[in-house]
Amino acid sequence: MDINIKEVKSRKDLKKFIFLPEKIHANDKNWVHPIYMDERKYFNPRKNRAFSYSDTILLLAYKGKELVGRIMGIINNRYNDFRQEKTVRFGRLESWEDEEVVRTLLKSVEDWARNLGMSKIIGPYGFTDQDPEGFMIEGFENRATIATVYNFEWLPRLIEKQGYTKDIDYFVYKLDIPKEIPEFYKRIHERVKRKGNFEIIEFRKRKELKPWIKPVFRLMNECYSESNIYGYNPLDEEEMEALAKQYLPVIDPRFVKSVMRGDEMVAFIVGIPDMSEGIQKARGRLFPFGFLKILRAAKKTKQLDLLLGAIKEKYRGRGLDVLMGVGVLMAAYEAGFKVIDTHHEMESNVKVRAEMERMGGKIYKRFRVFQKEL
């Protein structure tokens, strides 16, 4: 049966696009629903500023009258101008196991992008690196977190069959939380506190975090841009506000640490309790009672998920990672957590990866972003 591609143009089409994955993954115990309230905002150009500087296309695939797949194409013009590239991104690719559907969806985005002058396609990737990125290629026995995707094991293989190759791999480590901080880290921690003229700022209440949100994002802009973080595009003030509204309700202040030198913020780290089990039970719906299931899961979980972290370049190598890390480990242990999910670490970030392994971390997930010349 022929595959017909339809561009999303109506609210009805967008609803089909948003809810198709939960049908495809209905029997997949490790797939986690998106928060559908956030999904609706994400795809609303009036509420997602990224649409204002990006060309986008949302496509649905049909066999006859049956909806069998979806994909999104994104040309982030601000990023391309910043990096002097002509790159399109594909994302939100979902289908049942059908190579012809996957091929047709990818080709549709490739043709659209080629007509707009693009010369390379990467994916899966969203508007920014704050969106989930990469297909899982290892760790399928583990449940997804709020910041990562979960895909079928066959999907990356089908992507490669369409001529795509690796662009970058990300590793996710799982760290056991020790009852006692290793002596080596204790010594570094005390030395930095004593001699470094650095002050670690800790929080107890969520309202205490509000004045720090924008300084954190500004520091992230500075650090990630200087370090040439893969796919990173600096946030503007409006995007900072949107991210703050999205994440502030789920951030636990105990797992946010900031380092100051005088009046200057020089480092930060942000973690949240894993709430994926609650999101599954709520099926991504916050109301009428879904938010209670999510909050209950966040209180019961034994896993802490790291989200973001950065150190100003001129202060790297001075123990600030240990200063914050010890603070997070101590807070996590006091809260009864057992493990930490480190979130994505770039394959090329050998210093951070070596530190993870030194702390006893084990790779338990691996993600890959693919690329193809057009």
Q: What is the pLDDT of residues 328-342, one digit of tens each?
A: 999 999 999 999 999
Q: H helices of the chain, where?
A: 11-24, 36-42, 77-83, 99-115, 154-161, 183-195, 210-226, 237-247, 276-282, 290-300, 320-334, 350-358
Which of helix, strand or coil describes residue 259?
Answer: strand
Q: Let me know if the fold of 3-170 is the same as that of 178-337.
A: yes
Q: DSSP characters for 8-60? A: --SHHHHHHHHHHHHHHTTT-TT-----HHHHHHHT-TTT-GGGGGEEEEEEE
Residue 283's φ and ψ, nearest 5 degrees, are 55, 35
pLDDT per residue as tens digits for the range 221-267 = 999 887 778 888 888 888 888 888 877 888 899 999 999 999 999 99
Please state, in angstroms and rounded to a whole number, the distance separating the CA atoms of residues 38 and 36: 5
Place of tokens 């394959």: 347
CB atoms within 10 A of CB 159: 23
CATH class of 178-337: alpha beta
Counting residues of the chain whose pLDDT is more than 70, the rounded percentage is 100
CATH 3.40.630.30 fits 3-170, yes or no: yes
Amino acid symbol at 234: P
Domain range summary for the chain, segments of one domain joined by +:
3-170, 178-337
pLDDT per residue as tens digits for the range 122-162 = 999 999 888 989 999 999 999 999 889 999 999 999 999 99
pLDDT per residue as tens digits for the range 283-319 = 999 999 999 999 999 999 999 999 999 999 999 888 8
CA 33-35-41 angle, 5° bins: 135
